[in-house]
């Protein structure tokens, strides 16, 4: 077996970003930009008024001005003002030729067809957005690696960008194995258990912004599992198998993976829960064989699958590792890293009861996993530990 740190490093070393994908900006929100974006024109494309008022030559500000026409936002007709003239103008409209300043409508007195400016603070260029004030043609608008937030999408739209290159979210398949599994809502026969792993994994993946998810089931049969795995690999970037990853008579994940030409990177990690974890790759695609117990599945998902998803999509995750203070003494045998279901509040991490790997009731209450190092047995209240925040 390898250590937790070794396993995490192997995941990092063997997962590469997905090929970039060009998408309309309306579909790019929440993704990571894969290529630099440059402005295609000056924004604004013309000198523009920033408010309703009157456009004028600043040198004429101390004399009565004749009102000669108006400029509204979206107008396609240019006008020109001469010395001694002004034009009515509205927010977003182009300045008339000859104008360099806009006075607010509240700062003028109207006398017939003339205005008198009463703004002692007016300066040349007041209330004017100069051409290229937002960005100039050819300038770098956003760098590759930037997160495409709602504001970023609006900015790109506002400078005329219709499509961008992004790192796409991976397509993912979940394969649940085991003849004993029954669908929730149906009656249990003797020896059956309700299947929950596909439900918890699907919910967790959707929290990470991954929505293209296929769920398959396979009996404890080598040929059947091989067929399902081949189908899943053909159409997806990531395959998560649950159950059948140990070395029992009905555990076929390792053998089926080999028959599908999946390269084994590691199998078994010095951890609890989730010791039988399998990780492999095939032509850039990622395969995880997760143990069948529900808590083991989620522990392996948060600690290994999520980092792989981050590498594939170049996307930050809601799942983060931080320092915390242990709220109670805890003892465990040395030799395995333990991940404890726990609650995190105001810097304190408190282990929950029901730590067994088959129990999800405690996981349902948990918002973090406490990480206890493999070579230590005794952990004292008040000491600093690492936790993985999971929601």
Quick one: pLDDT at residue 183?
A: 86
The answer to whether residue 376 scores a pLDDT higher than 80 is yes
Q: Is 83 exposed, middle or buried (0-12, 13-18, 19+ CB in 10 A)?
A: exposed
Q: Residues with Cβ < 8 Å from 253, sequence gap 6 or more? A: 177, 225, 241, 243, 244, 245, 278, 289
In a domain, 134, yes or no: no
Q: Tokens standing for 180?
A: 């004993």
Chain-wide mean pLDDT for the chain?
95
- Mean pLDDT along residues 345-364: 92
Percent of the chain with pLDDT over 90: 89
DSSP state for residue 186 in the 8-state scheme: S
Among the listed residues 210, 250, 247, 227, the one whose alpha carbon sits nearest the alpha carbon of residue 175: 227
* pLDDT score for 365: 94
Q: Could you read off the pLDDT of 261-294 as tens digits, one per residue?
A: 999 999 999 999 999 999 999 999 999 999 989 9
pLDDT at 187 over 70: yes
Residues 338 and 232 reside in one and the same domain: no
- Residue 390 placed within a domain: no
232 φ, ψ (degrees, to nearest 5): -65, -40
Host H or E run for residue 108: strand 108-111
Domain count, the chain: 4
Residue reference for tokens 């809502």: 185
pLDDT band at residue 357 using 50, 70 and 90 as cut-offs: confident
Rounded to an integer, the average pLDDT of 344-354 is 95
Residue-number span of the structural domain to which 181 is assigned: 4-19+169-313
In a domain, 183, yes or no: yes
Question: DSSP states of 129-182 as a string?
Answer: E-TTSSB-TTSEEE-TT-B--HHHHHHHHHTT--EEEEEPPPPEEEEEE-TTEE
Asked if 277 and 217 sit in the same domain, the reply is yes
At 60, list the tokens. 């004429």
Give residue 249's pLDDT band: very low, low, confident or very high (50, 70, 90). low
Residue 58 lies in a domain: yes
**pTM for the structure as a whole:** 0.86
Q: How confident is the model at residue 250 (pLDDT cuts 50, 70, 90)?
A: low
Check whether residue 189 and residue 102 sit in a common domain: no
> 């967790």: which residue's tokens?
204
What's the maximum distance between 2 C-alpha atoms anywhere in the chain?
99
CATH number at residue 242: 3.40.980.10
One domain for residues 85 and 53: yes
54 and 175 inside one domain: no
- End-of-domain residue from the set 313, 340, 358: 313
pLDDT in tens, 27-51: 999 999 999 999 999 999 999 999 9
Q: What percent of the chain has pLDDT over 70?
A: 99
Q: 291 with 339: CB under 8 angstroms?
A: no
Residue 248 has pLDDT above 80, yes or no: no
According to the model, what pLDDT value does residue 247 have? Answer: 67
Burial of 241 (0-12, 13-18, 19+ CB in 10 A): buried
SS3 of residue 247 by DSSP: coil
| Residues 222 and 252 reside in one and the same domain | yes
Do 208 and 257 belong together in one domain? yes
Q: What is the average per-residue pLDDT within 336-362?
A: 94
Q: What is the model's pLDDT at position 318?
A: 86
For 254, the token pair is 């390792």
| Residues 218 and 293 occupy one common structural domain | yes
CB of 182 closer than 8 Å to CB of 193: yes
Given a contact cutoff of 8 angstroms between Cβ atoms, the answer to whether 358 and 292 are in contact is: no
Confidence of residue 178 (pLDDT cuts 50, 70, 90): confident
User: 30 near 161, Cβ under 8 Å?
Assistant: no
For residue 391, being part of any structural domain is answered with no
- The reply to whether 187 and 290 lie within a common domain is yes
pLDDT of residue 238: 98
CA 325 to CA 228: how far, in whole Å? Answer: 45
Residue 257 and residue 338 in one domain: no
The last residue of one of the domains, among 116, 150, 167, is 167
Asked whether residue 30 is assigned to any structural domain, the reply reads: yes
The mean pLDDT of 234-255, rounded to a whole number, is: 86
Asked whether residue 135 is domain-assigned, the answer is no
Compute how many other C-beta atoms are within 10 angstroms of the C-beta atom of residue 284.
Answer: 13
Report whether pLDDT(159) > 70.
Answer: yes
Domain boundary among 102, 129, 156: 129
> How are beta strands 163-167 and 21-24 bridged, if at all?
antiparallel
CATH of the domain at 73: 2.170.190.11
Tell me, yes or no, whether 189 and 256 share the same domain: yes
Task: Find the CATH number of the domain harbouring 31.
Answer: 3.90.105.10
Shared-domain flag, residues 56 and 36: no
Q: Alpha helix locations (H) across 250-345?
A: 253-259, 294-300, 306-313
> CB-based burial of residue 61 (10 Å sphere; 0-12 exposed, 13-18 middle, 19+ buried)?
middle
CA atoms within 13 A on the CB side of 75: 20
Write the CATH number for 356. 2.40.340.10
Angle at which helix 4-14 crosses helix 306-313, to 10 degrees, equals 20
């Amino acid at each position: 077996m390898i250590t937790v740190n070794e396993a995490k490093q192997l995941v990092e070393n063997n997962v590469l970003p997905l090929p970039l994908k060009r998408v309309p900006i309306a579909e790019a929100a929440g993704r990571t930009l894969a290529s630099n974006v440059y402005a295609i024109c000056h924004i604004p494309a013309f000198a523009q008024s920033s408010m309703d008022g009157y456009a004028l030559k600043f040198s004429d500000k101390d004399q009565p001005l004749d009102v000669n026409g108006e400029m509204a936002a979206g107008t396609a007709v240019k006008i020109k003002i001469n010395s001694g003239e002004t034009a009515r103008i509205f927010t977003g409209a182009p300045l008339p030729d000859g104008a360099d300043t806009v006075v607010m409508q509240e700062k003028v007195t109207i006398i017939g067809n003339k205005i008198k400016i009463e703004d002692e603070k007016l300066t040349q260029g007041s209330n004017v957005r100069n051409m290229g004030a937002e960005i100039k043609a050819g300038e770098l608008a956003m760098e590759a690696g930037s997160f495409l937030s709602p504001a970023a999408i609006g900015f790109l739209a506002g400078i005329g960008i219709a499509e961008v290159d992004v790192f796409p979210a991976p397509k993912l398949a979940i394969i649940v194995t085991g003849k004993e599994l029954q669908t929730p809502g149906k009656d249990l026969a003797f020896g059956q258990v309700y299947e929950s792993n596909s439900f918890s994994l699907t919910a967790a993946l959707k929290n990470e912004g991954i929505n293209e998810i296929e769920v398959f089931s396979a009996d404890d049969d080598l040929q059947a599992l091989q067929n399902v795995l081949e189908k899943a690999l053909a159409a997806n970037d990531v395959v998560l198998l649950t159950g059948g990853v140990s070395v029992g008579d009905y555990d076929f994940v390792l053998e089926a993976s080999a028959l599908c030409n999946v390269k084994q990177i590691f199998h078994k990690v010095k951890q609890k829960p989730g010791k039988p974890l399998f990780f492999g790759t095939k032509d850039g695609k990622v395969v995880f064989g997760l143990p069948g117990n529900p808590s083991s599945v989620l522990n392996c998902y948060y600690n290994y699958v999520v980092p792989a998803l981050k590498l594939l999509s170049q996307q930050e995750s809601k799942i983060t590792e931080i320092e915390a203070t242990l709220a109670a003494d805890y003892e465990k045998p040395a030799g395995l890293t333990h991940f404890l279901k726990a609650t995190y509040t105001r810097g304190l991490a408190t282990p929950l009861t029901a730590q067994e790997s088959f129990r999800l009731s405690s996981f349902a209450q948990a918002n973090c996993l406490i990480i206890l190092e493999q070579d230590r047995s005794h952990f004292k209240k008040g000491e600093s530990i690492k936790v993985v925040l999971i929601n």
